[in-house]
A and B are shown apart, each in its own frame.
Chain A
Amino acid sequence: MKRRLFLFRVIAIAIPFGILLVLELALRLFNYGYDYRLFVEDKQNRDYWVMNQDASKKYFPDQTIATTGNKEPFKKEKNPNTIRIFVLGESTTIGYPYFHNGSFHRMLFYRLMHSMPDKNFEIVNVSLTAVNSYTILDFARQVVDQQPDAVLIFTGHNEYYGALGVGSTQQLGTSRGLVKTILYLRQLKITQLLTNAWLHLRSLGGKGNSEKKDRMELMAKDQNIAYVSAQFNAGVDQFQKNMEETLQLFQDHDVPVYLSTVVSNEKDLTPFVSEKPADNKQKNFDDAFHEGMNALTIGDLPQASINLKKADSIFSRSAICNYQLGRTFLQLGQTDSARAYFTKAVDLDMLRFRAPSAINKTIRLLSGKYHNTILVDAEAAFQHYAAHQVIGNDLILEHVHPNITGYALLSQSFYEAMKKKGFLKVQEGNEMSFDELIHRMPVTKPDSLAGYYKVFNLKRMWPFAARNPSKKDTLSVVSQEEQLAYAMAFDHKSWETTQSELYAYYISNSDSASAKKVIEGLLLEHPLDTELYEMAGNICGQLHDYKYALSYFKRSFQLQPSVSKAKTILVLLLQEDMPADAIPYIDYAIHNTTSGYDYTSLKKTTAAIVQLKTLADKTPGDFALLNNIATQYYTMGNKSCAEKYVKRVLQLAPSNKDALLLNTRLKQRG
């Protein structure tokens, strides 16, 4: 009887767990809720994975604020010639406010595509706006299974107010273990069920966006985080521990990580919230500070520095006082002192939308701790590039997000770090320089303008402006490009729609150079669309940009070979005097042609040129060989290459009869 009673008790205790298990299984069976996996099968191509658009919902249970990431496909089975790079991070990492090709990873992709044309790059950005190191760690666990060749990380600004950040989970305290438990539990369908029930109950109160904004403002007022307070330290500690776990994971899997320092606007952004001195110090501080400000306003810099320093000695935790000291010392030409004050101002700013310097300190520390983690010092690169070596509006749009030049600089920082480490082996002559990248990168005027419009609007609101800003829209929207940018910025039209309208506009205005940028931008967005590569190749051809035309046709051929593409490529290669490279395409045409055209004689002539060129390289003074190459090119109708070799001979031997004769024939042909 005793034994039976014991058994009953065991069963009774097991029942609640059984019920929960059955409920969980039933919810899974009926596909209740969301799938939070980071990668799902690409619906357009079953051989590829893409980022799951529901993955972010794990971090933002309130669907109205859940952000979504990019959809950049990568092959389930990685090809041998592919270099696969994953990008992890936050809003800056995904390219806010431009997104698409305004982000640093697309600039990197564009540069690598042209600098290393023989390699296939898959650069997959899984960043999300408003997430922090908890999401990085969570995503890293899934990224590591996808055969990454490298991982690029840029994060650190959202440790306080990002999803599950220290300032966002006050009611739960700052326990990292608890947050990790919550993230684990959120994977359960039962938790999703309870969350949805809770959100439904809450929504019965009916809160609109404007009310939410007010709520956010009030919430933020309660969430001022003082420098080196318990909460401040918890944010840094959370970042360090999450990143340690992330970097250890990649090290265990032998994946190199390029970890970047973060950047923020120090020079041109007044701190959001400054701590106030205690009552007994308030008057003395205010007097000294206002005297300092008056002196600064009239340009009396020595007096300004004396008074502001006095204010700082009365109360050293004022962000605004340190900021004004930074401005004063910058005008005095003392850059190092100015930078120190600006950095301190960011550290003391109690509304922590910008990472304090402790985050970059941690990043530098961690880069030295893990042997496969390489430091990408974006902060140093930005400081070097910025006016007076202090980061300001020339590179940052508002508090943390770079402008187009800033994003190019960020891509340059990662590119240089990867090159220096030997991860990227760029062939001399092929490399796209930084200046070339700035000039060529496919960011259209409306792309850039749309970012400007978004930030313009953002800056009219809290926390950048007063609580009730003027609703007056002072943006000038006149030209077609401005109208498209405006529509794109405020979601009246999708990015795709604006790009196709923009392309039509440029074509109707015979602006092929701008149309080329649109097509190049579209192909970066859809790297598997062979038609876009052909369109880009054709426009580059029209613009006599044969190197890029060739590069695009080759990409298109790699994705979907055809005789017509092979024919275009071999013509371009022969035009560029690259006969050896043309042979595989001639072979392809020979084996696959259905038109009956005989490519064998072309192959014969091309092979002969290859042989002659090899001999000519060994005996550079042999004019007969050079003339022979010119004749072969002339025979196949390649006038530009024939001229090239004839000119070479005539430069060295102006009276060479064969060259003169061929030159005459070339001129006659016209």
Chain B
Amino acid sequence: MEFIKELLQFLKARKKMWLMPLIVILLLLSALVVLSSSSALGPFIYSLF
């Protein structure tokens, strides 16, 4: 119990240590999503007419 309490205190004090990787991973994923979602040209000419 004391271990968990100490761990929570540790996490509270060092938010950057675990929040930063989470944010960085999500940002990287988002960047990939945005950059790779630029449309291919092929589908337009076949599906829109």
Q: Which residues of A does B touch, CB under 8 Å?
A: 4-5, 8-9, 11-13, 15-17, 19-20, 60-62, 65-67, 91, 96, 129-131, 158, 161-165, 167-172, 179, 181-182, 185, 190-191, 194-195, 198-199, 209, 212-213, 216, 219-220, 223, 353, 454, 457-458, 461, 463
Contact = CB atoms under 8 A, between A and B. Distances in A.
Contacts of B37: 61-62, 195, 198-199
A179 B32 CA distance: 10
Contacts of A16: 18-19, 21-22, 25
A461 B49 CA distance: 9
- The interface residues of chain B, by DSSP majority, are classed as helix
B33 A191 contact: yes
A161 B40 contact: yes
Interface of B: 3, 6-7, 10-11, 14, 17-19, 21-22, 25-26, 29-30, 32-49
A640 B35 CA distance: 73
A164 B41 CA distance: 10
A185 B32 CA distance: 9
13 contacts: A4-B6, A5-B10, A12-B10, A65-B43, A130-B43, A131-B42, A158-B42, A163-B40, A168-B42, A172-B36, A195-B33, A454-B49, A457-B49
A129 B46 contact: yes
Contacts of B19: 16
Contacts of B32: 181-182, 185, 191
B44 A198 contact: no
B36 A169 contact: yes
A-B pairs with lowest CB-CB distance, top 10:
A130-B42, A16-B22, A161-B41, A168-B40, A130-B43, A65-B43, A12-B18, A16-B21, A15-B18, A8-B10
A127 to B, nearest CB: 12
Contacts of B36: 61, 164, 169, 172, 179, 182
Given A60-B40, A199-B37, A8 B22 contact: no
B41 A216 contact: yes
Given A16-B22, A91-B42, 7 more contacts: A60-B40, A131-B42, A158-B40, A168-B41, A191-B33, A194-B33, A353-B42
A65 B47 contact: yes
A459 B7 CA distance: 67
B38 A171 contact: yes
A190 B29 contact: yes
A167 B41 contact: yes
B22 A172 contact: no
A67 B47 contact: yes
A9 B17 contact: yes
A163 to B, nearest CB: 5
B21 A171 contact: no
- The interface residues of chain A, by DSSP majority, are classed as helix
B5 to A, nearest CB: 12
Given A164-B40, A209-B48, A13 B29 contact: no
Most chain A CB inside 10 Å of its own CB: which residue of B14, B19, B40: B40
Contacts of A185: 29, 32
Contacts of A169: 35-36, 38
A555 to B, nearest CB: 34
A185 B44 CA distance: 25
B42 A129 contact: yes
Contacts of A190: 29
A482 B49 CA distance: 19
Contacts of B39: 62, 65, 168, 212, 216, 219
A219 B48 contact: no
A282 to B, nearest CB: 28
Contacts of B3: 4
Contacts of B26: 194
A33 to B, nearest CB: 13
B22 A213 contact: no
Contact of A67 (B21, B29, B34, B46): B46
A62 to B, nearest CB: 6
Nearest to B9: A8
A13 B11 CA distance: 10
B41 A8 contact: no
Contacts of B44: 65, 212-213, 216
A488 to B, nearest CB: 14
Contacts of B22: 15-16, 19-20
Contact of B41 (A62, A131, A219): A219
Contacts of B6: 4, 8
Contacts of B14: 12
Contact of A11 (B7, B34, B42, B49): B7
A20 B18 CA distance: 12
Most chain B CB inside 10 Å of its own CB: which residue of A5, A67, A194, A461: A194
Most chain B CB inside 10 Å of its own CB: which residue of A13, A20, A129, A216: A216
Contacts of B43: 60, 65-67, 129-130, 163
A91 B29 contact: no
A329 B17 CA distance: 72
A60 B48 CA distance: 15
A8 B4 CA distance: 10
Contacts of A8: 6-7, 10-11
B21 A13 contact: yes
Contacts of A212: 39, 44, 48
A461 B3 CA distance: 69
A179 B10 CA distance: 39
A60 B40 CA distance: 8
Contact of B48 (A167, A198, A213): A213
B45 A463 contact: yes
A194 B42 contact: no
Nearest to A181: B32
Contacts of B10: 5, 8, 12
A198 B30 contact: yes
Contact of A91 (B18, B25, B46, B48): B46
A375 B44 CA distance: 31
